[in-house]
Structure 1
Amino acid sequence: MHSRHWFKSLLITACAAALAACASTNDRVLPDASGEAKPDVVWRINLGEGPGVTYTRLKAAVDGDTVYAVDTGGTVTAVELASGDRLWTKDLEQPILGGVSFKDDQLFVSLREGTLVALSTDDGSEQWRAMLPSEAVAQAAADEQRVFIQTVDGRVTALERDTGAQAWSYEAGMPVLSVRGTGTPLITDRLVITGYATGKLVALDKVLGIPRWDIRLGVPDGRSELERLVDVDGSPVSDGRIIFAAAYHGKVAAVSEMGETIWQEEGSTYTSPELALGSVYLTLDDDSIQAYDMMTGAKAWLQTELMGRGLGQVTATGTYLAVGDEEGYVHFISQVDGGIEGRIMLRPRPLHINYPHQPEATNWRLSRGRDFGIRSNMLDTDEGLLVYTNAGDLALIELR
């Protein structure tokens, strides 16, 4: 009798746990998105191994009517923007970590073994390879003479564009623990501006590589190293006059090119700010989206309906903000008031049977370690919005 009661108690406990799990799943029901944004897929191609479950953001690059994109397996692909037709493919025979960037007729790709490769935009032919101090997980940036890249060990390295020879290298002190990520440096006429795991935004002389000024966006505070993380993982951005940057466990700030702080507001994030319609938009670390006035830093609106969905960086497209989540949805949000105006799911065809009376996402349950979310930054183009999924699909979305 005792064992029978014990089994009954165990069964009740198991059922309660199952019901709690179902309730937890149902708590993530998508908010209404029946607004004016009507997204359609123009074309969609698979590039191979996407970011997958590894925490990488393989951002593509657009030059006129051509898209350049990479996969983690080591392949660089040129695609016609309007049609999605492949123009050429280059296998670098090493895993790729940091996406692709371009300047004039050159592409720059960072490999897992700490190498930066320069390729021709015409056919992908290799021009040079240069060893870096460590691996780089963000895109490089370039001007007419040099290419600049930040590695995970806290260094910024400048290389000559024609040969790959090192011009200078600047190393900043690193904390005991940091978030594994860096941003792409912002290049101005005189400066290379980038963020560090110390919570500082640092401006380096573009010619000499020496610091010209720094601004603190986050102050380490807390008992544990986790609580003291203040990384500036996103890239600083500029409207041509003012520089905007943000830190995890820190602030979002507007800074002049002379290093003077114009305004600072609370805004903990892993991502970069987005600028549009006189506002600064930011995905916060709790997956809410905050809008700030570009000139004063005043908070305009806060979108909280997508919290907990593993959002990426917001991208301005038309009068909307687009943001991807870990389930493979792209949400379109009004830049004016933060309302959700539309949505589209970008996943491969269902791997399993359709479950009746279940959310659409149930049909694409993660299988064998696959990840169908969207982590890479999206790109707004003249033809529409470019989205690169964790499953390796590159898609062009237009809004009706």
Structure 2
Amino acid sequence: MRSFTRLYRLAVLGVATASLASCGLFTQKDARYDPAPLTQYAPTLAVAPVWTATLGSGGGYGFIPHVVGDTVYAAAPSGSLVALDLATGAVRLQIATPPLSAGVGSDGRTIAVATQKGVVLAYDAQGKELWHAQADSAVNVPPLVSDGIVVVRTTDYRVQAFDAATGKLKWNVQRPGPALALRTSIQMIAEPQLVIVGMPNGRLMAIDAASGAVRWDSTVSSATRGASDLERISDIVGAPQLIGSTLCAVSYQGHTTCFDAAQGGRALWSQSISSSTGMTTDGQTLYLADDHSVVHALGVKDGHSLWQQSALLNRQLSTPAVVGPAVALGDYQGYVHFLSRADGHLMARLQLSSDPIRSSLVATPRGVLVQTDGGKLILVGVRG
């Protein structure tokens, strides 16, 4: 197991590098893959930082701020876990942890992160450690806390649930996986009595939160195409989106697909649009940046294209967030771009850092939360 895990880690770390290099983003040998220069336009949206918090050092895909009520939970790889007031950024709780690989999940009572040694750490709302438990392998996906359990997805294709009060392992689900997997923004979601998780083989599972029984298992896209392991990567990325009984997901080098969650995951429609970061929704429309950072808006009902925006081509866009009249996306130079939800035109942009923004943006009633690779967390307010 240790040998497999080590090989898997090397593969995961190499895939993102290999994928970007094959696209010319590192070598710049092919001008078709150069990041688009920033264009001039007339801003129609007022955006500005409301507060900034320093979390620690580092960041990346496994570190996504999490909001419960008026509290923001966030973590940094260097070993820091904080709870902040959403309105002001004031620190409510700060915990020194071992170096982390992913975080953070919380239901407001239990707060969970994962260390670089595959240990799941759980704290109560006052910051007292409740328990720690060893996952079967590394954890690069933020833990999910819901229904009295803490759920992690490990790098050996397991989904493990620990009792939120005691840390006792309650159930374990494993599926066979491909030789390579993509390290990117991935999140599990919870619905009443269900855990919904995307896997690195292009499949989406609904798991009973109490028993670990797989209620249904559906295919977003197949990983059978391609001559090499790299070309066959078909990971489900970002967080699945549930709109009523319609559940939507997107895969890398695959498809955007929606299912009827009430009818055992029956496929409703599928479009040949893939992404390396994931999607968001406003309840009527799905928004996502494809593998080349072309932003798409698709109707939830039937997947028809509403608009496309290619002005940010190859700018390595983050998972988007819907905020006010706009959809916001971060890029590799620390910019956040705001596009009109109605037609995709550029409404505003703001450079928050020189560090990349790889963490998923998070929409809140106060604005959009942006976590940079430099360990900063910023709330950006939106007016207009």
Same fold, TM exceeding 0.5? yes
**SS at structure 2 position matched to 1:236:** strand
**SS at structure 2 position matched to 1:321:** strand
What's 2:13 paired with? none
1:295 pairs with 2:298: no
Once the two structures are superposed, the pairs formed by residues 180-195 of structure 1 within 5 Å of their partners are 180-181=183-184, 183-195=186-198
- RMSD across aligned C-alpha pairs, in angstroms? 2.1
1:386 pairs with 2:369: yes
Aligned mates of 1:240, 1:136 — CA distance in 2: 30
What's 1:57 paired with? 62
Q: Give the C-alpha shift of residue 181 in structure 1.
A: 4.7
Q: Give the C-alpha shift of residue 380 in structure 1.
A: 1.5
Q: Identify the match of residue 149 of structure 1 among 147, 152, 170.
A: 152
**SS at structure 1 position matched to 2:237:** coil
More strand by share: 2
What's 1:39 paired with? 47
Q: Deviations over 1:180-201 (max 9, x none)?
A: 3573322223432211111111
What's 1:357 paired with? none
Between the two proteins, what is the percent identity of the paired residues?
Answer: 30
Q: 1:179 to 1:24 in 2, by over 3 A?
A: closer
Q: 1:88 to 1:209 in 2, by over 3 A?
A: closer
1:67 pairs with 2:72: yes
Q: Identify the match of residue 359 of structure 2 among 376, 384, 398.
A: 376
AA in 2 matched with 1:329: Y
TM norm structure 1: 0.83
Q: Which runs of 5+ in 2 are unaligned?
A: 1-27
Q: Give the C-alpha shift of residue 265 in structure 1.
A: 0.9
AA in 1 matched with 2:292: D
Q: Identify the match of residue 132 of structure 2 among 106, 129, 134.
A: 129
Aligned mates of 1:224, 1:320 — CA distance in 2: 39
Q: Give the C-alpha shift of residue 228 in structure 1.
A: 0.9
Q: Give the C-alpha shift of residue 24 in structure 1.
A: 10
Q: 1:179 to 1:299 in 2, by over 3 A?
A: same
Q: Deviations over 1:196-248 (max 9, x none)?
A: 11111122233332323222222221111111111113221212321111111
Q: Identify the match of residue 266 of structure 2 among 257, 260, 275.
A: 260
Q: Deviations over 1:290-332 (max 9, x none)?
A: 1110111111111111011111111000110000000010000
CA contact (8 A) 1:155 1:169 kept: yes
What's 2:123 paired with? 119
Aligned mates of 2:236, 2:45 — CA distance in 1: 32
What's 2:83 paired with? 78
Q: Rg: which structure is higher?
A: 1
Q: Deviations over 1:257-295 (max 9, x none)?
A: 221111111121122321115101111111111111011
1:211 pairs with 2:214: yes
CA contact (8 A) 2:147 2:193 kept: no
Q: Deviations over 1:363-389 (max 9, x none)?
A: x6xxxxxxx111111222222211111
Q: Deviations over 1:343-367 (max 9, x none)?
A: 00112xxxxxxxxxxxxxxxx6xxx
CA contact (8 A) 1:232 1:247 kept: yes
CA contact (8 A) 1:57 1:375 kept: no
What's 1:176 paired with? 179
Q: 1:143 to 1:115 in 2, by over 3 A?
A: same
Aligned mates of 2:32, 2:242 — CA distance in 1: 41
- How many residue pairs match? The answer is 352
TM norm structure 2: 0.87
Q: 1:187 to 1:399 in 2, by over 3 A?
A: closer
1:97 pairs with 2:80: no
1:320 pairs with 2:309: no
Aligned mates of 1:301, 1:379 — CA distance in 2: 22
